[in-house]
Copies of this chain bind each other. A is one copy, B any other.
């Protein structure tokens, strides 16, 4: 779950999907959540997978809120 990237801590998880359309649908679900709370992850969408990366630009690291967002992302995935 925790990934060290260019010496900045980020919360990164890869979610598998059976095709491109279902991956893009998940990207939109996470994007809708992000818009609602006003905090935005990086979303890497490809055929059969989405990688979601949560971190806080301002501190170039991870705050409590990022863990809550990652948990919500897991919940959204589990309901698909």
B42 touches A46 (CB 8 A): yes
User: A31 near B45 (CB under 8 angstroms)?
Assistant: yes
Complex interface: chain B residues within 8 A of A73 (CB): none
Q: A24-B31, A40-B47, A44-B45 are in contact. List 20 more A-B contacts (CB 8 A).
A: A20-B34, A20-B35, A20-B40, A21-B35, A24-B27, A24-B28, A24-B43, A27-B43, A27-B45, A28-B28, A31-B45, A40-B46, A41-B46, A42-B44, A42-B45, A42-B46, A43-B44, A43-B46, A44-B44, A45-B45
Q: List 15 A-B contacts (CB under 8 A).
A: A20-B31, A20-B34, A20-B35, A20-B40, A21-B35, A24-B27, A24-B31, A24-B43, A27-B43, A27-B45, A31-B45, A40-B46, A41-B46, A42-B45, A43-B45
